[in-house]
Chain A
Amino acid sequence: MDKDEIIKAREKWEAEKLKKFLEKRPERGSFRLDFGDEIYRLYTPEHLRDWNYLEKLGFPGDYPYTRGVYPTMYRGKLWTMRQYAGFATAEETNKRYKYLLERGQTGLSVAFDLPTQIGYDSDDPMALGEVGKVGVAIDTIEDMRILFNGIPLDKISTSMTINSTAAILLSMYQIIGEEQGVDSTLLRGTIQNDILKEYIARGTYIFPPQPSMRLVADAIIYCAEHIPKWNPISISGYHIREAGSTSVQEIAFTIGDGIEYVKWITKRGVDVDKFAPRLSFFFAAHNNFFEEIAKLRAARRLWAKIMKERFGAKNPRSWMLRFHTQTGGSTLTAQQPLNNIIRVTIQALAAVLGGTQSLHTNSYDEALALPTEKSVEIALRTQQIIAYESGIVDTIDPLGGSYYVEWLTDRIEEEAIKYLDKIDAMGGMTRAIESGYIQKEIADSAYKIQMKIENGERVVVGVNKFVDENEKLNIELMKVDEAVAQRQIKRLKHIRKMRDARKVEESLDALKRVAEKEEGNENNMVPYIYRCVKNYATLGEIVAALKEIFGEYRAPTVI
């Protein structure tokens, strides 16, 4: 239909029907997205002016991948159902993995405790109170052996949320694979290994940005050569969003980080198509349903264009933005916790309609504690019900062509590009982070969102509306008891006594010597870390050795 005809018809509808109706029944207010745009009453072909189907969408599995990265999407293979899990010691977590696998989970996702993520052994004074709390404690290869006991690494893919110490955990995984008789070329999984967002939002950095970027690049290049099916990085917007960013900031800063990694590695003389096909991403799914779907579609299109046009990648796999999604932890409420099941369902639907490759659904009790077996089972069942009962997986990108979703996809992409231009003008993401600009932008958004909750403009059911004044928490919560640390420390001390101290010393020395050399493909640190791990050096010892050379980072505080 002719656009002019539509405009004429719309004007007629407004004059004859809408105006009178609004006089009788005014609307509830105005409607706005967090990144600033007004949401209009109605979307029509008018909002997609000069909109070219082939340019904007194309076909699934084809550039620019707006409709999805695979030609058949969920008709061929469902997303991987991958619950992020880990607590206490390797024994307890191994049991939880088996519990989830028995219930139909299709991939593993390891949560490590903070000492493991930040490079402290469980008996370090800095680890006080933190051992086994937010994830499983791993000090040596022995813990990793217990963690994957009875889990065949050639049959399952494993994602590990590990950044500063990623090369250590990757080496452990590789060695456990070898012990199981699984060749490294068959290992499938992901290390997060995204240090930039640690400085921005997540906070588990150890070293200053330069040597940290070197470690990231070393792991990516090592994987391209030795563990080719591994995703050596998961460039993460999730934590940026959870720290309070808008949807636009989430994809802009994540893609900005991605650009920085590609620049860094190509500068080392590695061809973009050698490593880019295995770059992977991680986004959040929050409550605003269509906004989240549009965000994921926009991110895919934007990344494809950047890889093809800016970096000149030739391999279509380098253009594909493959990603994991997690529902939004910060949207969960401690009040009326069962309501969270509904929030998670809505968010998970958005992730699937946005074309995710794998998904973690949060459990209803996670505003207060790590999930129990009962709560995590419901979270997993939520994914299974969406996959097998809802029918939304039966056709590809069913919201493609929706006037609203396409308008929103375009708008989010446009706004993200504005940020990316600004970051380029600042000299790239590392500079923008060091100056505190990114952190400040996120903190400003977080404060604005909190203000909207305070003044009731944003409703949070059970918190600022429909509050139950007499509510008593009536769910069972999981608790990691303090004795866990003692058990873990006992095992660590035992390993320290049993191992060949001379070999440990030698391998740590060799690591320090290579770390002192200049960054470059001939001085890749991963094989040296591998040797330390194999000789039972502890995670804390390996990090301490690197700290001697690289020093520690102190972040600027930005309120």
Chain B
Amino acid sequence: MRRRILIAKVGLDGHDRGAKVVARALKNAGFEVIYTGIRQSPEQVVETAIQEDVDLIGLSCLSGAHIPLFSRVMELLKEQNVDIPVFGGGTIPPSDVSALKSMGIREVFGPGSSLKDIVAKVKEMVAK
């Protein structure tokens, strides 16, 4: 069965070049990819993830609001008792990576990440 991945733009920023490029690369790597479009609240993202029964969630944020927004997504997933692995990307300074990982985000892809790397790590994450 093809694995399904939700690529979600959480928060208000409209910078979705990265999200789209990653979505396309994952599609080309054989995944089924659902892209939410921009400006999704954490509530909407979690709802879509559950409805679409995805195997993995990728969050993108380039406004600097990644800590409050990603942590709200993690909180909601916990409240709903769903165990879907989450990874994140965007303009995220290295100093924030440990905070994101400690809230349960599996992988963080900052600026300059290669698609090859992202696809490889995504394969690992869905295999687990």
A residues whose Cβ falls under 8 Å from a Cβ of B: 114-115, 117-118, 120, 125-130, 133-134, 198, 201-204, 242-244, 330, 332-335, 367-370, 443, 446-447, 450, 453-454, 460, 463-464, 473, 477, 480, 482, 555, 557-559
Contact = CB atoms under 8 A, between A and B. Distances in A.
B37 A555 contact: yes
Given A128-B69, A334-B111, A369 B17 contact: no
Contacts of B15: 203, 242
Contacts of B72: 128-129
B42 to A, nearest CB: 8
A473 B112 CA distance: 14
B14 to A, nearest CB: 2
Interface of B: 11-17, 20-21, 23-25, 27, 33, 35-39, 41-42, 63-65, 67-69, 72, 91-95, 110-112, 114-116
B13 A477 contact: no
Contacts of B35: 557, 559
B17 A446 contact: yes
B21 A447 contact: yes
Contacts of A446: 17, 20-21
Contact of A368 (B13, B23, B93): B93
Nearest to B72: A128
B63 A454 contact: no
B118 to A, nearest CB: 10
9 contacts: A203-B16, A203-B38, A244-B21, A330-B17, A334-B110, A367-B111, A443-B20, A447-B25, A557-B36
B24 A454 contact: no
A477 B11 contact: no
Given A333-B111, A557-B36, A114 B13 contact: yes
Nearest to A443: B20
B40 to A, nearest CB: 10
Contacts of A370: 64
B93 A477 contact: yes
Contact of B63 (A130, A334, A447, A559): A130
B126 to A, nearest CB: 19
B114 to A, nearest CB: 6
B33 to A, nearest CB: 7
Given A244-B17, A369-B93, A559-B24, A134 B64 contact: yes
Nearest to A473: B94
Contacts of A443: 20, 24
A115 B12 CA distance: 7
A217 B41 CA distance: 31
Contacts of A368: 91-93, 110-111
Nearest to A114: B12
Contacts of A477: 93, 95
A143 to B, nearest CB: 18
B64 A480 contact: yes
Contact of B39 (A203, A333, A367, A559): A203
B122 to A, nearest CB: 15
Contacts of B39: 118, 203
Contacts of B95: 473, 477
Interface of A is mostly: loop
Contacts, number: 113
B13 A134 contact: yes
A134 B63 contact: yes
Contact of B68 (A128, A198, A463, A557): A128
B88 to A, nearest CB: 13
A335 B112 contact: yes
Contacts of A482: 67-68
B115 A129 contact: no
Contacts of B33: 559
B93 A133 contact: no
A462 to B, nearest CB: 8
Given A128-B69, A446-B20, A446-B21, 7 more contacts: A118-B39, A130-B12, A203-B14, A333-B112, A334-B112, A477-B93, A557-B37
Contacts of A127: 12
A557 B27 CA distance: 15
B112 A133 contact: no
Contacts of B11: 114, 128-130
Nearest to B96: A479
B17 A243 contact: yes
B91 to A, nearest CB: 6
Contacts of B17: 242-244, 330, 446
Contacts of A201: 14
A126 B12 contact: yes
Contacts of A450: 21, 25, 115
Contacts of A243: 16-17
Contact of B24 (A120, A126, A447, A460): A447
Contacts of B63: 114, 130, 133-134
A298 B26 CA distance: 37
Contacts of B27: 559
A559 B36 CA distance: 10
A114 B67 CA distance: 16
Per CB-CB distance, the 9 closest pairs between chain A and chain B, nearest first, are: A203-B14, A129-B68, A129-B65, A114-B12, A557-B37, A334-B111, A133-B64, A367-B111, A463-B112
Given A203-B15, A330-B17, A559-B24, A369 B111 contact: no
Given A128-B69, A133-B64, A559 B20 contact: yes
A194 to B, nearest CB: 13
A369 B20 contact: no
A477 B37 CA distance: 29
Nearest to B13: A114
B38 A555 contact: yes
